Structure 1
Amino acid sequence: MTTMVPLLMLFLSLHSLVLSLNQEGLYLQQVKLQLSDPAGVLSDWNYRDDTPCNWTGVKCHPLTRSVTSVILPNAGLAGPFPTFLCRLPSLSTISLANNSINSSLPLNMSTCQNLTHVDLSQNLLVGPIPYTLSDIPNLNFLNLNGNNLSGDIPVSFGHFQRLETLILTDNLLDGTIPAALGNITSLKRLELAYNPFAPSRLAPEFGNLSNLENLWLSNCCLVGQIPESIGRLSRLTNLDVSCNGLSGPIPSSISQLTSVVQIELFNNSFSSKLPARWSNMTALKRFDASMNELVGTIPDELCELPLESLNLCNNQLEGFLPQSIARSPNLYELKLFFNRLRGTLPIELGKNSRLQVLDMSENQFSGDIPANLCENGALEELILIYNSFSGNIPGSLGKCRSLRRVRLRSNRLSGEVPAGFWGLPHVYLLDLRENSLSGHVSNMISGASNLSVLYISKNHFSGPIPNEIGSLVNLVEFYGSNNELTGQIPATIVHLCQLGSLDLSNNELSGEIPVGIQSLKQLNELNLANNKLTGEIPDEIGSLPVLNYLDLSGNYFSGKIPLALQNLKLNMLNLSNNHLSGDIPPLYAKQVYWDSFLGNPGLCGDLVGFCPRKGGSKNQVYLWILRSIFVLAGVVFVVGVVWFLLKYRHFKKTKKGITISKWRSFHKLGFSEFEIADCLNEDSVIGSGASGKVYKAVLSNGEIVAVKKLWGGSKKDDTSVDSERDAFEVEVETLGKIRHKNIVKLWCCCNSEDCKLLVYEYMPNGSLGDLLHGSKGGWLDWPTRFRIALDAAEGLSYLHHDCVPPIVHRDVKSNNILLDGEFGARISDFGVAKMLKTVNKGAEPMSAIAGSCGYIAPEYAYTPRVNEKSDIYSFGVVILELVTGRRPIDPDFGEQDLVAWVCTSLDQKGVDHVLDANLESTFKEQICRALNIGLLCISPHPANRPSMRRVVKMLQEAGADNKPKIAKKDEKLSLSYYEDTSDQGSSV
């Protein structure tokens, strides 16, 4: 009894504490229980207070002390939407932006009758938008941006009476944009961008939104024409309908938007001429109608407006640039690239404004570059490539210290470059290629401390390269070929530790290669061809770790070829037309390198006919007789060998026990190993590659298998033998242990001294590469392509995540994806695969670059340490092949590959330009999702690529009814990676 008294008193005291908190505080405690709070933001929400008014994120009315606001953005809260909030009778504001609220919105949110402001942006909300939200009578602000909401925008939203802001951007809404939104006459801000809506027209009813100030409908699948009723939006300041399928003329009524400041029409299919009447749009500052099909001339009235930015790039505009554009006092950006404009630029352009960006690339402009472009010291980008500008580079540009990016390639510029132009401190790209410029490279170049890329090829520059070039510690590329440069290569050039490409070919340089060249650890291209260089080729070149292009041809190099060059993994080697002597290093003493050594009379190698011959005509006769004898003896020998092999083959059939030990099985076989050899004839060849031939073998039991017979290596060619043995052993070691539906099955193998065979399951539809790019490529529909992509992804995911240790394939390409009778995909050809020795501990060094041209990840250019991310890049290229129908390397791309072409085309011409025209338009939404996944996979930085497990998940979501989120702008790959490596205009 004595113990019950204190327990009863304790209970009564706790009860009194609970009773001290008012009812609204109790409701908020229920909210706290509904949410996960790992950061402890709600730690001061407790029962000891009388009222919640002092709790974090809670605000109350100063008199009634009723809760009016719950504002908890960026708090790390997770869980379902807290429905107890709607029990707070005076609640007017809910802001839970940028948390992890992960449920659907309840229909009973309409019980929050006093709500005026709801911000649930950047959460994980799913499901449809409740149609009951429009029942909240005083709702003024609704922001659901950046969630996973799907379905339609409720038609009931047209009943809102006081709504001024509606933001639904970046969701998964896939219905049509309802015309009923035009009934919300109170709207000032309507933002629906970045949703995968069904194709629909912009409703004429939107012209009723007389109070609308901001209309953002980018990436909403809009089609058809902009209605003329758009001109009734007299208060509109921002109009953005970019990146849609809008077509037809730009409506003339657009000139009635007297308050508009910014118009974004880019990346549509607008055609016809620009409207002529712009005089009413006195507030317009930014106009962007790039990437359309606009024709005609640029209206003079448009250029007379107080514009800040004018972007009409990538159209079909013709004629002259109006002189009035030079009188725009606020102009900072003028982009007109990829048009057909001609004539001269206004002489006063830049004089009356703080011009920052000028891009006139790919036009037909001529005459002088205006001297006033940097009059006010603000010019940062000057892009005039592929025009016909002539005359000198203005001296005033040599004083323009604000310049950062200069591209004057492919014009008719002449004369000397202003000395100060070489040393501008902030320029990171200086491109003067393909002009008629002359004079010396000034020693003032030492001031260009930020210079990363220097292109001066194909000009008439003369004199020595200044020693000051060695002070440019950020220089990555230096192309100075096809000039008249003289003197020695500066010894200071070895200080350029970031230098990746050095091309000084076709000049008149003399002397020796500088001592210490081994310090250029990032150098992957060295081209000094066709100069007057002398001395010996330094051994140190063989220690450059990433060098893969070496051309020293057409010089006066003497002495022996350094054996250290065998350490390099070269894609290109040319030492021809020098004075080299001695033996060719064994690695290069092969027929494939023959042209690399021609024109060196003192060289001698093992190749027949390479060494110089001596003696007169008599000796030639004797040599002819000897050759004839040897040829005849060879014929007799070959006939004898063939007869012997036939007999030996018969002997093997009768003595099966002799070779049975050479065979190794990995599955239960339904055929005899000895049947395989009888099927290997030239009539049954179905493929041939770098490692060997592939045969179709039809066995006695009716089963069909594929047999790969590896090429035999000569005993003299040890490296070839090693390569063959390694490929065979890697294939056996890898496939012999793998059991997965999307990895090709290896039935058995033979590894005898005279025979190396691999027997696989037969894939009747061949490889994806042959089917996609062959005559039947257009027949391969999108559902089949999508299934192939998913199957291949699951196979690679198994290699990367489920094998112990993980396996990196290293040669993922469409030709190594085989298709069965139902077009199911299998990953094949593991000849260069590598098992990672450690798991999740970074990349491992690879002994050589593996892969095929067009599929090789960019990190191979600067490091031998690669991991499974290189497979992911290659798989991304395969996705691009499936989406575009294009080969990874295509003559139509010029110097680009498929990756660069896709990224450039997307940026300049839009998605329709890259999609395979043979694919059905009904699947465009899913195709675009697959394209976005491919773009993520080809990110130039390995860390930004998703894992294969994540790729599989994204592909599964892309094919499901519940569609995944379309990639945002910043998820479409960092296109700036290609910015200065492409010649396709500055928009790249």
Structure 2
Amino acid sequence: MLSLNYCLLISWLLLLSTPHSRSLNPSLDDDVLGLIVFKADIQDPYQKLSSWNEDDETPCNWVGVKCSPRSNRVTELNLDGFSLSGKIGRGLLQLQSLRYLYLSNNNLSGTVSANLVRLQSLRTMDLSYNSLSGAISNDFFRQCGSLRAISLANNKFEGIIPDSLSLCPTIVAINLSSNRLTGSLPNGFWGLNGLRSLDLSNNLLEGEIPDGFGSLNNLRGINLSGNKFVGRVPDSIGRCLLLRMVDFSDNLLSGELPETMQKLSLCNFLNLRRNLFVGEVPVWIGEMKSLESLDLSGNKISGKVPGSIGNLLSLKVLNFSANGLIGTLPYSMVNCANLVALDLSQNSLSGELPQWIFQAEEKSVKKIQVLDLSANQFSGEIASAIGGSSSLQLLNLSRNSLSGSVPVSIGELKALNVIDLGENRLNGSIPTEIGGAYSLKELRLERNLLLGQIPTSIENCSSLTVLILSGNKLSGPIPVNIAKLTSLQDVDLSSNNLSGNLPRQLANLAHLKSFNISHNYLQGELPVGGFFNTISPSSVSGNPSLCGAVVNKSCPAVLPKPIVLNPNSSSDSTSGVLPPSLGHKRIILSISALIAIGAAAAIFVGVIAITVLNLRVRSSTSPSAAALALSTRDDFSHSPTTDANSGKLVMFSGDPDFSTGAHALLNKDCELGRGGFGAVYRTVLRDGRSVAIKKLTVSSLVKSQEDFEREVKKLGKVRHPNLVALDGYYWTPSLQLLIYEYVSGGSLYKHLHDGMGGNFLSWNERFNIILGTAKSLASLHQSNIIHYNIKSSNVLIDSSGEPKVGDYGLARLLPMLDRYVLSSKVQSALGYMAPEFACRTVKITEKCDVYGFGVLVLEVVTGKRPVEYMEDDVVVLCDMVRGALEEGRLEECVDGRLQGKFPAEEAIPVMKLGLICTTQVPSNRPDMGEVVNILELIRCPSEGQEELG
């Protein structure tokens, strides 16, 4: 068999032997032929590299390839996420001008040649998330040229980290995480003075962390988590004054935390969980005032929580769980007003349950979303003020010594997903107000002293999956309403005083995994069907009056007495007689005979009824041209039916007619674009009017028809010159379409960043776009509609240059405004999203739109994207402009294409307004109505008393 090198040589010679190739510039031959040879070594199942043609004179127009405009040589190869497999061959070695190589998120295998790193121009190499393997040889980094960033993360590399890394003086970022690397850290690391980011997490590294931190003066982030490091954290870590992120979690580190860490005044993320650290939480921790996340959980830390924690005003996440802490919590923690998650579970904390957590004062932990104080020794009652913690999503106070009743104010927690008050001494009844917490997914109240009945209001918690009420003194029947909780998976009502029959409707709960009703006083027959056909006998034991196959006890038959027809009665008697022609014979009809007779009669009537209905349907059916067109094309082949009458088409004005536009609607050539909520097509109605049809992504829009139509009709009523009008909709259970007016001028994003035919927006056009967008948002907010997804690709420009904002309010079509679902729908809006938007349960208000608008303003004025990825850094537009303002060079941020063609007295105040709108604290942002007033004042300052800026 020919060797790989020999096969490559043959391919090279064959390509060079073609007349066309010989006519090319030799330097260009290297790039074309190099990429063709590279392609020959890989598999491309989706033909994403189909544009790579060996007959082309230059590869600069190929997918994934970028070239220098001066030399026409390849400078970037980006094949991230192309689903490629195979080997990384030697063809890439011909790309002598290559600066950026991105082959991540594929399935490439085999080893990586050290010669690849030796490309003299190569600055960034990202081979992460593949199946590359083998050892990283010591020669790998011996000639690393100008390499600045390398990522081999999430592969199968093994062996030790080579010392030759120390020979790369220009390197600033190293990511070797999630491999199988072994051995200790090479001393060469500590000579890389320019290193900013080091990630070696999730490997098999061991030994002590060398005391060489002090030399890494530029280090911003270090992640050594998920290894087997032992010993102490070196004191020299305190000399890395620029550190912002430190993660040493999931190792075997021991001793006390070094006091020098208090010098890390810029550090905002410190994770030391699951190690063997001892001692107390140091008082000096309060000096690390930039901390936003502090995790010391799963160690052997003892003593009290120091009051200096209250100095961490930026703290959002605090986790001291699974340690040996004692005493009470310091009141100074009330100063941590930005706290979102507090986990102190599995300690020995004692005293009264801290009431300041739930206080409604100005200085309190009002943003808390996750509160876990479980498995401690807290006593006292749960304050009714807990109802003011409107952001609370998870509340776990289980396994303490709490007394009193469950506060009725629990029902005010609309964002609450999980409540666990189990294993305490709570008494009284479960408040009926619990139904107000309609977002509940888990309710755990087991092993308390609760009395009374299970409230029927629990049916309002329609998302409930876990209901644990065992080990109390609850009485009365199991409410039929529980059968309405269709998401239920685990139910435990055991060891109570429940009585009565089990509702048969429980058999309709399709997702049940467990249902324990043992040791109660329930009676009658168990439900038949579904989960109850296979329920464990132990789950129903201890109920002497239950019957059914599961408990090996037959249920008593309840049959009426036979009907006796008396022939001696008069013919007009109501007792039921035989006609004289049948004689005087006594006849007894059994129940089974009567049932058979009744069934036969019912079938006969049913056949007649169905026949009549079919005749009516056939005579009344007149297929809608629009519905037929929408249900018979390939693009909607997922629809379960092609019945024209199965869908509902509604136009808010005018009569719908897609009969001439159905082909265009479903033709891929007429697709305008795709977003998080679906694809958009252009079609033409019979009257010649163009419309845009958004086909919604069905898998994530699962609201009922009633909810869908209510939300869509609300959006259809909104009319404003700067809003894309919603003209109608089409509904079936598996297909939903929204019908919009068609805007011909393209998106603002394309005008700003793609040039739109070489033209660029003038200052007046940009100002009008900003003002028109502001007016549209102000109009939406007046109608109590939040846009949720402000970005330049959702602002369209009509033929007269006016902006029209689209895609507003679509998130309301989701079954619930879940952060994970919603973020997956608007992930393309990265950079526009307000900081509170990323928090799991912080209330979304109109101020989130104001933040996105502020970013949009800066994007329009500067011509830069909200987030731009550089070779070794990420530039956030808001931060860049804010820094320029502080340095007095704000005017330099204006789009370079506008230099000398814009009024500074307008541009600078507009940018300042954008920065005000992107303030971190939502309450400090103006309303959109105020924004409109300010913009109009900037344009016409003589009309107001003051000028902005």
Which category describes the TM-score, using the shorter chain as reference length? 0.5 to 0.7
CA shift at 1:282, angstroms?
A: 1.5
Please state whether the residue corresponding to 1:126 is helix, strand or coil: strand
Q: Is the 8 A contact 1:528 1:551 kept in 2?
A: no
Q: Equivalent of 1:19, from 23, 32, 36?
A: 23
**Matched residue pairs, number?**
534
Q: 1:316 aligns with which of 304, 319, 324?
A: 324
Q: Deviations over 1:710-763 (max 9, x none)?
A: xxxxxxxxxxxxxxxxxxxxxxxxxxxxxxxxxxxxxxxxxxxxxxxxxxxxxx
Alignment of 1:416-427 (within 5 A): 416-422=429-435, 424-427=437-440
Residue 155 of structure 1 pairs with residue 163 of structure 2: yes
Instruction: Tell me by how many angstroms 1:63 deviates.
Output: 1.4
What corresponds to 1:262 in structure 2? 269
Equivalent residue for 2:91?
84
Give the 3-state SS of the residue equivalent to 1:445 in structure 2.
Answer: helix
CA offsets 1:107-152 (integer angstroms, 9 cap, x no match): 3235311111111112222222243425323211111111222222
Q: Residues 29 and 519 of structure 1: is their aligned pair in 2 closer, same or farther, counting only changes over 3 Å? A: closer
Distance in 1, matches of 2:232 and 2:475, equals 57
1:225 is displaced (CA, Å) by: 0.5
* TM-score normalised according to structure 2 size: 0.53
Structure 2, unaligned runs of 5 or more: 1-14, 558-949
- Rounded to whole Å, the distance in 2 between the matches of 1:483 and 1:449 is 24
Aligned-pair distance for 1:373? 4.0
Corresponding residue for residue 513 of structure 1: 525
Give, in whole Å, the separation in 1 of the partners of 2:66 and 2:530: 67
> Hey, what does 2:104 align to over in structure 1?
97
| Deviation by residue 1:635-660 (Cα, 9 ceiling, x = unmatched) | xxxxxxxxxxxxxxxxxxxxxxxxxx
CA 101–461 in structure 1, closer or farther in 2 if over 3 Å, else same? closer
Distance 1:515 1:376, change over 3 A: closer
Q: Distance in 2 between matches of 1:126 and 1:399?
A: 55
What CA deviation, in whole Å up to 9, does each residue of 1:522-579 have, x standing for no partner? Answer: 5334645555737xx3xxx33xxxx6xx498xxxx9869xxxxxxxxxxxxxxxxxxx
Change (3 A) 1:44 1:18: farther
Offset of residue 400 of structure 1: 1.1
Q: Which stretch has the larger CA shift, 489-498 or 270-279?
A: 489-498
> Is 1:436 aligned with 2:436?
no
Partner of 1:157: helix, strand, or coil?
helix
Alignment partner of 2:354: what SS? coil
Q: Deviations over 1:445-468 (max 9, x none)?
A: 111222222221222223333232
| Superposition map of 1:58-457 within 5 A | 58-130=65-137, 131-197=139-205, 199-305=206-312, 306-350=314-358, 351=360, 352-373=365-386, 375-422=388-435, 424-457=437-470
- Give 4+ residue runs of structure 1 displaced > 4 Å after superposition: 11-14, 514-519, 525-532, 557-560
Residue 430 of structure 1, CA deviation:
1.3
- Structure 1 residue 444 displacement after superposition: 0.5
Given that 1:496 and 1:520 are in contact with CA atoms closer than 8 Å, whether structure 2 keeps it comes out as no
- CA, structure 1 residues 464+123, in 2 after alignment: closer, same or farther (shift >3 Å)? closer
**Residue 56, structure 1, aligned to residue 60, structure 2:** no
Match for 2:162: what amino acid?
P
Cα deviation, 1:863-904, whole Å, max 9, x if unaligned, reads xxxxxxxxxxxxxxxxxxxxxxxxxxxxxxxxxxxxxxxxxx
Cα gap change, 1:519/1:169 in structure 2, threshold over 3 Å: closer, same or farther? closer
Distance in 2, matches of 1:558 and 1:46, equals 78
CA contact (8 A) 1:114 1:136 kept: no
Between the aligned partners of 1:374 and 1:86, the Cα distance in structure 2 is 65
Check conservation: 1:355, 1:373, Cα contact below 8 A: no
Is the Cα contact below 8 Å between 1:422 and 1:441 reproduced in 2?
A: no
SS of residue in 1 equivalent to 2:283: coil
Tell whether the 8 Å contact from 1:355 to 1:374 is kept in structure 2 after alignment: no
Q: 1:256 to 1:416 in 2, by over 3 A?
A: same
1:269 & 1:60 partners in 2: Cα distance?
52
Residue identity matched to 2:224: L
Shift of 1:238: 1.2
Q: Secondary structure at the match of 1:348?
A: helix
TM alignment of 1:839-854, pairs within 5 A: none
Letter in 2 for 1:524: S
1:478 aligns with 2:491: yes
**Contact 2:262/2:285 (CA < 8 Å) preserved in 1?**
yes
Aligned equivalents of 1:282, 1:433: Cα separation in 2: 40
- The answer for unaligned runs of 5 or more in structure 1 is 1-10, 561-988
After TM superposition, the score normalised by the length of structure 1 is 0.51
Cα distance in structure 1, aligned partners of 2:104 and 2:529: 56
Query: CA–CA distance in 1 between the matches of 2:537 and 2:515?
Result: 6
State whether residues 499 and 522 of structure 1, in contact with CA within 8 Å, keep that contact through their aligned partners in structure 2: no
- Which residue identity is paired with 1:126? S
Please state if 1:461 is matched with 2:471: no
**Structure 2 CA distance for partners of 1:437 and 1:93, relative to 1, 3 Å:** same
Aligned partners of 1:501 and 1:526 also within 8 Å? no
Q: CA deviation at 1:422?
A: 4.7
Q: Distance in 2 between matches of 1:75 and 1:482?
A: 57
Which amino acid in the other structure matches residue 313 of structure 1? Answer: S
Cα distance in 1, alignment partners of residues 386 and 469 from structure 2: 22
How far apart, CA to CA, are the structure 2 residues paired with 1:148 and 1:252? 37
- Contact preservation (8 Å) 2:509, 2:530: no
User: Pairwise CA RMSD of aligned residues?
Assistant: 2.7
Amino acid at match of 1:378: S
Change in 2 beyond 3 A, CA 1:515/1:429: closer
Q: Secondary structure at the match of 1:410?
A: coil
SS in 1 for 2:284: coil
Task: Between 409-418 and 262-271, report the one with greater CA deviation.
Answer: 409-418
User: What amino acid sits opposite 2:316 in the alignment?
Assistant: E
Q: Distance in 1 between matches of 2:115 and 2:166?
A: 19
Deviations 1:620-646 (A, max 9, x none): xxxxxxxxxxxxxxxxxxxxxxxxxxx
Question: Which segment is superposed worse, 369-378 or 207-216?
Answer: 369-378
In structure 2, relative to structure 1, the CA distance for the partners of 1:218 and 1:463 (3 Å cut) is same
Shift of 1:376: 4.2
2:372 and 2:394 in contact (8 A); partners too? yes
Structure 2 CA distance for partners of 1:84 and 1:500, relative to 1, 3 Å: closer
TM-aligned CA distance change 1:158 to 1:489, over 3 Å: same
For the structure 1 residues 496 and 220, does the alpha-carbon distance in structure 2 shift closer, same or farther, using more than 3 Å as the test?
closer
Superposed displacement of residue 304, structure 1: 3.4
* C-alpha distance in 2 between matches for 1:87 and 1:476: 59
> Which amino acid in 1 is paired with 2:199?
E
CA contact (8 A) 1:377 1:400 kept: yes
Instruction: State the one-letter code of the partner of 2:130.
Output: N
Q: Deviations over 1:496-517 (max 9, x none)?
A: 34444444344444x5236656
Alpha-carbon deviation of 1:470? 2.3
Quick one: distance in 2 between partners of 1:82 and 1:337?
53
Shift, 1:487, TM fit: 4.0
Q: Deviations over 1:76-106 (max 9, x none)?
A: 3333323232332321111111223323222
The one-character-per-residue Cα deviations of 1:49-70 (angstroms, maximum 9, x if unpaired) are: 2211111211111112121111
Q: Given residue 416 of structure 1, which amino acid in structure 2 is its aligned partner? A: S
Deviation at 1:378, TM superposition (A): 1.9
Query: For residue 377 of structure 1, what is the amino acid of its counterpart?
Result: S
DSSP 3-state at the match of 1:156: helix
Q: CA deviation at 1:330?
A: 1.6
Counterpart-to-counterpart distance in 2, 1:213 and 1:348: 36
Following the alignment from structure 2 to structure 1, what is the Cα–Cα distance between the partners of residues 388 and 335? 13
Q: Which residue number corresponds to residue 838 of structure 1?
A: none
